[in-house]
Structure 1
């Protein structure tokens, strides 16, 4: 029985193995399959690292958000703006006008 792949016209060798009619193509195919397998392994590791990093970053950002919200709730600026909304709006307007006049092109 010929052990060569279908469509691969192989010659019988003395020990029953077949000699390929396309040795270069067979070597290239084997090399490419090996390269794809290595690439798949590397991609798998990279994906796992990205997923772990993303999960860690999401946890870190969530903790920072809670910390910032707690600081804002205790902030004197927030208390002033809540107690004096008209004055806070006036200060914000004046600051905006000042900044825009500094950056205005002449």
Structure 2
């Protein structure tokens, strides 16, 4: 009889002992499983979002680089024309600069 009491006490203690695995805790198992599934799903979505953002950033960088190159070419094209005009027409260039200065000073004075 002493053995039966000892076995019952041992099995009762294993259920309440926090160091033993939760063999009979279906709620905890379900919660753990749900948490793992949620983390896995979130991880998958985060990886997909990161990949999409990286692809978009690379595409934007390429487009920006192309537009900068076009802008540089146009600036160089117009810069050459402006210098040629200034060299051929120094009096007209001085008049345009004077008129621009007068316009800017008039606008600044009004405010």
Q: Give the TM-score range, shorter chain.
A: 0.5 to 0.7
In structure 2, how many angstroms separate the alpha carbons of the residues matched to 1:34 and 1:8? 30
* Greater RCO structure (CA 8 Å; 6+ sep): 1
1:102 aligns with one of 104, 107, 110: 107
Over the aligned positions, Cα root-mean-square deviation in angstroms equals 3.2
Q: Give unmatched runs, 5+ long, in structure 2.
A: 1-18
The structure with more helix, counted as a fraction of residues: 2
Question: Structure 1: which 5+ residue stretches go unaligned?
Answer: 1-6, 13-17
Residues 14-67 of structure 1 deviation map (CA, whole Å, 9 limit, x = unaligned): xxxx95734224312321221122122122122112212211220232023213
TM score, norm. by length of structure 2: 0.59
**Normalized against structure 1, the TM-score is what?**
0.61
**Contact conserved, 1:9 with 1:20, CA < 8 A, in 2?**
no
Question: Who is 1:11 aligned against?
Answer: 23
State the match for 1:4 in structure 2: none
The answer for the alignment partner of 2:67 in structure 1 is: 60
The ranges of structure 1 where at least 4 consecutive aligned residues each deviate by more than 6 angstroms after the TM superposition are: none
